[in-house]
Amino acid sequence: MLRPRSRLAAATGLFSLAAFALAGCSAVISLEPAANADDPLCAEVSVRYPDELAGQARVWTDAQATASWGSPTAVVVSCGVEPPGPTTLPCQTVGSVDWIIDDSDAPRYLVTSFGRTPAVQVYLDNEAVSSLDVLDALSPAVSRLPVDGRCTERPAGE
């Protein structure tokens, strides 16, 4: 499993690659699929991604279980990443989905679903989009994944 810094470096490279592909006037962004992108649950999530996200139009990708929005690229999503383990990174619940937020490369954020397998990873540019708007729009699709954990303990009845 990649450590947060290693995941961030990988995501930064992915985001840079996506931005470079768009700069070349490509109609489709070339990305690498996550290790478990072929999980059938990723297909259920991927077909539910919106055509517009936080005011950004969808740009098609060539890798299974990935999506991108904006020109230049503002958001890149990949389903099928390794679920994160316990972490000290902040966690926020948006639309019933727990998200771990790595802001070490702010204003670019690496956000990963927590307690769902397979996990979904979102790399977003907070100067171009609101992270809350992005997570709010993606959470209905990601909530289709089965819950197998939570960021924090919740009182009974929640």
3-state secondary structure (DSSP) of residue 75: strand
pLDDT score for 92: 95
Element (H, E) at 112: strand 108-114
Structure tokens at 110: 């690496």
pLDDT score for 27: 78
Residues 105, 25: Cα–Cα separation, whole Å = 26
pLDDT score for 153: 54
User: Is-contact 149 93, C-beta < 8 A?
Assistant: no
pLDDT score for 94: 96
What is the chain's pLDDT, residue by residue, as a tens digit (158 residues)? Answer: 344 444 544 454 444 444 444 444 557 999 999 999 999 999 999 999 999 999 999 999 999 999 999 999 999 999 999 999 999 999 999 999 999 999 999 999 999 999 999 999 999 999 999 999 999 999 999 999 999 999 875 444 54
Per-domain residue ranges of the chain: 4-142
pLDDT score for 15: 46
- List of residues 6+ apart from 52 with CB closer than 8 A: 58, 69
pTM of the full predicted structure?
Answer: 0.81
pLDDT score for 51: 96
Structure tokens at 37: 């992108």
Residues 148, 10: Cα–Cα separation, whole Å = 25
Task: Give the tens place of pLDDT for each residue, 59-102.
Answer: 999 999 999 999 999 999 999 999 999 999 999 999 999 999 99
User: Is-contact 80 60, C-beta < 8 A?
Assistant: no
